[in-house]
Amino acid sequence: GQQVMQIPQYQHVQEGEDFTTYCNSSTTLSNIQWYKQRPGGHPVFLIQLVKSGEVKKQKRLTFQFGEAKKNSSLHITATQTTDVGTYFCAGPGMRFGAGTRLTVKP
Amino acid sequence: EAGVTQFPSHSVIEKGQTVTLRCDPISGHDNLYWYRRVMGKEIKFLLHFVKESKQDESGMPNNRFLAERTGGTYSTLKVQPAELEDSGVYFCASSQFWNTGELFFGEGSRLTVL
């Protein structure tokens, strides 16, 4: 499986602020997936990106896959308290990054 | 359709004892994965079954861990003898396709070794 590195480890924002987490690989990825785990819960699939330069949106969430297919990002616009949790990326071989824990202050 | 189910949800054992965790994947999912998350840190890959075969067991920490998937249906993960550092939440996930497509996770089995 291909290892993916994820930053930052933690992010604390005020409600309404934006949030971005980044996922990087030293090798080209055939695809990348994003998951969200709420506190006390289990990881839940958000999206899979496959194409170079791909951008997908889900309401306030924007997912990007780099042109070289070595990095990806998840951006949340105007965070809400319901966005709290840890966001993980996963590369081929279903290896997960370390995750970015998001906390949101009301 | 039933999701991925794991049993037990929580197990508390003493160091040196044995624990067996069970995972029932979604019916028809050939791919089954075991992961461990310790203290809210990374989701660490343990191993991957395709049907009854171990496709990748490179994440298994040592020979105290034994995973099986007889018949290609449910899977068990046995820890024997358990050590303090084995504590954590063990997640099972299944998927229809290999290396692509959604992973469906179970609720996890929390293991506490005292």
pLDDT in tens, B35-62: 999 887 899 999 999 999 999 999 999 9
Report the half-sphere exposure of B107 (CA within 13 A, side-chain side).
Answer: 9
A 10 A CB-CB count for A45 gives 17
- For B80-113, write each residue's pLDDT tens digit: 999 999 999 999 999 998 878 899 999 999 999 9
Chain A residues 53-92 with a CB less than 8 Å from chain B: 86, 88, 90, 92
Nearest CA in chain B to A99: B42
Q: What is the 3-state secondary structure (H, E, C) of chain B?
A: CCCCEEECCEEEECCCCCEEEEEECCCCCCEEEEEEECCCCCEEEEEEEECCEEEECCCCCCCCEEEECHHHCCEEEEECCCCHHHCEEEEEEEECCCCCCCCEECCCEEEEEC
Of A94, A98, A101, nearest to B103 by CB-CB distance is: A94
Query: How many angstroms away from the CA of A18 is the closest CA of chain B?
Result: 23
Helices (H), A2-95: none
